[in-house]
Structure 1
Amino acid sequence: MIMTYEWAEITDFADELSQMILQSEQADLYREAYRSVYNDKELSNEIHAFARLKDQYEEVQRFGKYHPEYARVMKQIRVDKRRLDLNEDIAHLRLMENELQDLMDQVSFIIGRSVSEAVKIPSSNPFFSSDSSCGGSCGTGGGCSCSA
């Protein structure tokens, strides 16, 4: 691909937009929540231990109930996940992640719609979903359960 003046200008605008997002309140709150979680050594160690347990879980899943560690790993993963889910700092971090993701979804939606209504916009928020209609499965009762 040949870099034209237009491409250079678009790249500059993208850099400027990314800096604006990085300097946003949502990004600041996310970084603060992230530091709160990962600067807590005990909590950070629990998260890393859970990540190792997830690796064991994946190994156990390959063999199912026939794996000798199946019952222990399955119980431990539920207990540890619940404990982490109930941690106030982790819950706050997840909330801030969602807030930042919403900002990113909004920006993507605005950019996509400024190009064309037909642009597919990936989003974690159904409000920003680019499929406002039934999509390609109409008449078959597929994705939207409608019928022609």
Structure 2
Amino acid sequence: MLANIEVIEALEQAEKLGKMITESEDFKVYKNRKKALYEDRDAVKLMDDFSKMKEHYDDVQRFGRYHPDYSKIMKEIREQKRDLDMHDTVAIYKQSETQLQTLLDDVSEIIAQSISPNIKAPRDGIALKDSGSGCGCGSGGSCGCQAS
């Protein structure tokens, strides 16, 4: 019974912490910039175009350099990614996303260290990233063909 009460109390504290984060300035800025991003027609068009090109990119990655459109698709995906990343609204949104991720990483680290100095907390959103190379061309990732 005691373990159940402790678990319930820990869950309540976690809920309070989550609420504090969603009420933080970093989260509010992130939410506003995300809204602005999806209200910016140019940015939405760039994201849609990039998503469509990413489908072609994924197809090309299955065959690698042997795909007939390899060079064309690789060039286009890099250009579209650059255009997307350089768009003001997208860049501002990504900055706020990074700031919020830093806050979440800091909170995770504080919680982990309060339990034991041996517990490792993920940094820079590493828990969300794919552990594989992301390369589909069969070169083992050495070619650097990953677009995202």
Q: For the superposition of Structure 1 and Structure 2, which TM-score range results when normalised by the shorter chain? A: 0.7 to 0.9
1:99-114 alignment runs, 5 A limit: 99-114=99-114
- Structure with greater contact order relative to length (CA < 8 Å, sep ≥ 6): 2
Query: How far apart are 1:42 and its partner, in Å?
Result: 3.1
Q: Which amino acid counterpart does residue 33 of structure 1 have in structure 2? A: R
In structure 2, what is the Cα distance between the partners aligned to 1:61 and 1:101? 30
Match of 2:28 in 1: 28
Ranges in structure 1 where 5+ consecutive residues have no aligned partner: 126-148
Residue 92 (structure 1) aligned with residue 92 (structure 2): yes
Q: Which has the larger radius of gyration?
A: 1
In structure 2, what is the Cα distance between the partners aligned to 1:41 and 1:9? 46
1:1-148 alignment runs, 5 A limit: 4-124=4-124
Matched-pair identity in % = 36
In structure 2, what is the Cα distance between the partners aligned to 1:48 and 1:14? 36
In structure 2, what is the Cα distance between the partners aligned to 1:57 and 1:79? 13
In structure 2, what is the Cα distance between the partners aligned to 1:45 and 1:39? 11
| Runs of 4+ residues over 2 Å off in structure 1 | none
Secondary structure, counterpart of 2:18 in structure 1: helix
Q: Which amino acid counterpart does residue 92 of structure 2 have in structure 1? A: H
In structure 2, what is the Cα distance between the partners aligned to 1:105 and 1:37? 24
Secondary structure, counterpart of 1:4 in structure 2: helix
Per-residue deviation, residues 16-60 of structure 1 (Å, max 9, x unmatched): 100110110000111111111111233212202211211211110
